[in-house]
Amino acid sequence: MTTLAATASDDLWKAWSFDPLVLAAAAVAVAFFGQGWRRLHRRRPELAPWSRWPLFLAGVAIVVLGIVSPLDAIAEEYLQSAHMLQHVLIADLGVALALVAVRGPLSMFFLPRDLLAPLARMQRLRRLLSFLLRPRVAVALWLAVLVAWHVPALYDAALRHPLLHRVEHLSFVLVGALVWTLLVDPAGQGRLSVNGRIGLAVVMLWMGQLLAYALVFSFHPYYDVYTEQPERLFGLSPLGDQKLAGVVMMTEQLLTLGLALALLLLVARRRAVPGATPEPV
């Protein structure tokens, strides 16, 4: 059995992909945030504090590193637990941090004026976004994507076909953005009340934990790509790696959704106190 001391494994940790599409998208996102922050900061600096920058940059960096770093190469060929870590980083943590960074009036300044105006006039686009952000629709899409890509046939196909793997990553980011938009409500549109957002966090946490349990308590490995890989990083067996993937998913969701749930419960409790000043969330 080979280990990380092997030459192939040593080279693996240097496998940075520098995907131009990913890097370009990240650069555009940072540019949009920068121009929006600057415009709002000039008018109302208290609404665009400097503290938003590290949050947004951390969110973008997490998504980018999850795709272009050696984690991607390890996830594709060697470890399901690495693949799970990659997915929760790009679909949950990175997206959540970026949306928290732009919450409030800053969300209205994120897109440049010359781009925002024509987009706002596109009725079909507005109707589509409104439909996708309906709680039932967003949650259904999130769950469908989450479950579909863990079906063994699709999971293995995505790992064996680069284009399909890109589609998988893109779908995770998009549905993650939908549900976290409802949870964070960056523009304050109030599609869900605080109690509704608490309910959404509970439902997402419950559904995610069920999928994690299916991995943690599995009796045999589900995915051929990892089972057929003779080189076992860290000495993990295919079944042990699969169980670890479930633990990774369970832990990340408890941290991200658990924290969101705790904050929302705190806000709901404070609003229930007579005479308390409502807090923006």
Q: Please write the tens of the pLDDT for every residue from 58-93.
A: 999 999 999 999 998 898 888 999 999 999 999 999
- 14: pLDDT strictly greater than 80: no
In this prediction, residue 11 carries a pLDDT of: 72
* Confidence bin at 7 (pLDDT 50/70/90): very low
In this prediction, residue 8 carries a pLDDT of: 52
Instruction: Give the percent of the chain with pLDDT over 90.
Output: 69
217 membership: H or E segment, kind and range = none
* Confidence bin at 6 (pLDDT 50/70/90): very low
| Section 232-247 average pLDDT | 91
- 232: pLDDT strictly greater than 90: no
Query: Which residue is listed with tokens 């806000």?
Result: 267
| Section 208-229 average pLDDT | 92
In this prediction, residue 112 carries a pLDDT of: 87
Alpha-carbon span 208 to 211, nearest angstrom: 5
**Per-residue pLDDT tens for 26-64?**
999 999 999 999 999 999 999 999 999 999 999 999 999
| Section 259-281 average pLDDT | 75
Distance (Å) of CA 205 to CA 39, 135, 201, 212: 37, 15, 6, 10
Question: Which has the closest alpha carbon to 201: 276, 253, 145?
Answer: 253
| Section 239-254 average pLDDT | 94
- 125: pLDDT strictly greater than 70: yes
5 vs 209, more confident? 209
Any idea where the domains of the chain sit in the sequence? 16-109+126-224+236-272
Q: Six-digit token pair at 233?
A: 């990083």
101 vs 13, more confident? 101
In this prediction, residue 4 carries a pLDDT of: 37
In this prediction, residue 281 carries a pLDDT of: 61
Q: What is the pTM of this model?
A: 0.88
Residues in CB range of 99: below 8 A, 6 or more apart: 59, 177, 180, 181, 184, 186
In this prediction, residue 3 carries a pLDDT of: 37
Beta strands in 151-204 (DSSP E): none
Distance of CA 54 to the CA centre of its chain: 17
Average pLDDT, the chain: 89
